[in-house]
A = this chain, B = another copy of it.
């Protein structure tokens, strides 16, 4: 499949590399490819400069948001939650029409100190905001409930746990579920329409505190039943 991954942080890089490894034709999208490739210092999260990663992944194209989205059948939103609507607008609504958007972003608000709070929750969600803003796209919320390494390679855990899909379009959820299974996710629960993204986005506060309590992000939620 032709896939655009929007976002060059750890989540975008990890998902892009895993999709390429599985044989997909992947383009990673960024606002200004020249500027992104020219950076030589780690970002605020300590992520190493992008150019080194790009050099190690020569099979993955780097393009502006709109160019990346134009050629893609499926678009992965791997941006920070507070940038997501802006980035998708930069990708161009016309480039999103009819396409599946796998939305991994979380509406984290770091402006009020740590741990972050959520800038939308409970009566709305980032997934719904994206679906409302780009009504001709087919948004599927998933993978926002675990660490990037485990998103892409859940079998790093002996018991990989559960991931969730939320979305209004059954075919789009099937497409995403297929990718999730290819990643190694055996237990995928379809929660229902995109409004159920409220539930999975609201997992972040306990996820962040579990990270603190366990001292590692290498854990996942499993729904035992």
Q: Inside 8 A of A190's CB, which chain B residues have their CB?
A: 213
Closest B residue to A218 using CB positions: B225
Asked if A136 CB lies within 8 Å of chain B CBs, one says: no
Write out the residue numbers on chain B whose beta carbons fall within 8 Å of the beta carbon of A37.
none
Q: Any chain B CB within 8 A of the CB of A170?
A: no
CA distance A206 to B223 in the complex (A): 11
Chain A residues bordering chain B, tally (CB within 8 A): 40
For A205, the chain B residues whose CB sits under 8 A away are 122, 198-199, 202
Q: What's the number of copies of this chain in the assembled complex? A: 2
Q: Which A175-225 residues have a C-beta within 8 angstroms of B?
A: 189-192, 196, 198-200, 202-203, 205-210, 212-214, 216, 218-225
Which one, B123, B200, B213, B220, contacts A191 given CB within 8 A?
A: B213
Task: Please tell me if A81 contacts chain B, counting CB pairs below 8 Å.
Answer: no
Q: Flag if A199 contacts B208 (CB, 8 Å).
A: yes
Which residues of chain B have C-beta atoms less than 8 A from A161's C-beta? 222, 224
Residue among A157, A161, A191, A213 with most chain B CB within 10 A: A213
Inter-chain contacts of A223 with B (CB < 8 A): 210, 214, 219-222
